[in-house]
Amino acid sequence: MNAEAQSDSIQHLSKLEINKKKSEVFSGRDSTLTLTIDTLVMKDRSRLVFYGKKKVNLKIKHAIIGKNAFIFGTDSKNNGSDMDITIRFDELESLMVSSAGLDANNRAKTFPNGNGGKISIKYLSDGIAPQQVDKNRTAYLSIDTEAGGHSVNAQSDIRNILSRIGTGSRPLGGLPQGQVYSGSAGMDGKSDVIAVNEF
């Protein structure tokens, strides 16, 4: 299912259930999305994805999270979304929240290596408190705000670029957009997790 969101939109869902290994995608132009979900059920390995969002304000009044659930946000230009999440965990097995920057790809139309976003998670103290120490225990929460470009292999990028030079009518005609993207990594983001008493 794909929920199309307008620029700077505000949405409210009484219940959202994402089945095992399935995704729910909120997409649109680079914008802000404010989303309130009364009850969110994420089954094992399900994904909640925000695509084309610079900023996501997410409020979840009741969350039932299975194993290896995943929340991800990107602005569609390789940068991670800034995400402000307020959530009450009724059940929590394991959850990853990511606003990692993505890698540039000199093989296709792309943007430079992206910056990681800022993630702020406020969990309600009357629900389950997440832990970030032991991934083999329940209530595990992991956060990824790493910049894109850390995994770039400069040698293979150079070989790819050199093989394309002169293949078209222009010297760099074989490169997407006629550009070469630097192997320099983007900037890492940051995160915080705090307990709160109310939404």
Quick check: is 166 in a domain? no
Which pLDDT does position 185 carry in this prediction? 82
Is 131 a domain residue? yes
Query: Does residue 16 register a pLDDT over 60?
Result: yes
- pLDDT-derived band at 181 (thresholds 50, 70, 90) equals low
Q: Quick one: pLDDT band at residue 162, thresholds 50, 70, 90?
A: low
170: pLDDT strictly greater than 80: no
Please give the tally of structural domains in the chain. 1
Model pLDDT for residues 85-114, shown as the tens digit of each residue = 999 999 999 999 999 999 887 556 668 889
Q: Provide the residue range defining the domain that includes 99.
A: 2-152+187-196
Is the residue at 181 inside a domain?
no
Residue 167 resides in a domain:
no
User: Is residue 103 a contact partner of residue 152, using CB atoms and an 8 Å limit?
Assistant: yes
In this prediction the pTM is 0.81
